[in-house]
Amino acid sequence: MIRTVDYHTAGEPFRIVTGGVEPLPGVRILDKRRYAAENVDHVRRLLVHEPRGHADMYGCFVTEPEDDGAHLGVVFFHNAGYSTACGHGTIALVTWAIESGLVEGPEVVVDVPSGRLPTVARIEEGRVVSVRFRNVPSFVHARDLEAAGHRVDVAFGGAFYASCPERVEPADLPRLIELGRAIKADLEADQEIVHPREPELRDVYGVIFWQEEGEDPLTQRNVTVFADGEVDRSPCGSGTSARLALLHDEGRLATGDPLLHRSIVGTEFTGRVAEESAEGVITEVEGSAHLTGRHEFVLQPDDDLGKGFLLR
């Protein structure tokens, strides 16, 4: 029996494993991430794949932090494996940690695979209304690369994202999913995309399709296609950091100015460049998460189909 608590952040699901899995060993979160991939990946498949999940499910294992400088750690998972960053998941995790009494808040520090994230929750009448996280340094990796017949920019916001201007409407999703897969494949075939300090932070995690929506404040609408054609219903938290790095580099967004980042379903994150550093810009992203349910999942011994499958 595996127990979970489910949230959504701006429409994007997040399944938090709260019982039935032994603690992940390892000193660093990257060590724990590696252990999860090698030893408990059957749990990821059980919770993400159908019939308990779906192709766009997201979740995490809660872990011990790397040291006493943080309150908790997290290993994120999705339909194709384990990500290095997840902004919407961080927002949901902190909301759950405070509302469940695991931590007091409102300031919560979380160790994620890409680094250590300070967060601040806004709490009203005992309920977490929103969470703002301060991300690891974000930076522009490359501009004007050709992939799948399109010109894209690549930036890091905890993971590497390619940005491509396109119309963003629900009716466009089948086309954008295939285009996102093609752009990701082309970039990874032609480019070595790796973090300058941490070799495990590498390759293109997602493709952000974006369109302009306003100037005061700067407003953009986006959809991120990541992992194996997975679609982010939220504005994508780490992707928002990548977009902030690009916009700041272009001179379109000054330090401290807000970006209103809308998702394909109309939900919103607010992001800003808080400061500049030698390694890139330090961004802050804020959004809200909501409890959707609690589950006890089982796998009967004779249920071969129940071990998981995916249909797009």
Q: Which two tokens stand for residue 282?
A: 């330090």
Q: Which two tokens stand for residue 226?
A: 């990541």
CA distances from 109 to 71, 94, 152, 204, 310 (A): 5, 9, 33, 26, 34
Angle made by CA atoms 56, 58, 62, in degrees to the nearest 5:
170
Bond into 165 cis (ω within 30): no
- In a 13 Å sphere around the CA of 34, the CA atoms on its Cβ side amount to 8
Cβ-contact 165, 308 below 8 angstroms: no
CB atoms within 10 A of CB 12: 30
**Closest by CA position to 226, among listed 50, 92, 76:** 76
Using DSSP's 3-state secondary structure scheme, residue 132 falls into strand
Q: Which two tokens stand for residue 80?
A: 């194709």
Beta bridge partners of 211: 221
**Closest by CA position to 47, among listed 299, 225, 291, 234:** 299
Alpha carbon distance 168, 77 (integer Å): 25
Q: Of 60, 86, 164, 236, which is the active-site residue?
A: 86
Using DSSP's 3-state secondary structure scheme, residue 156 falls into strand
Q: Which two tokens stand for residue 15?
A: 């399944």
Helix axes 29-39, 41-48, angle to 10 degrees: 80
86 is catalytic: yes
Sign of the torsion angle spanned by Cα atoms 220, 225, 4, 109: negative
Q: Which residues are catalytic?
A: 86
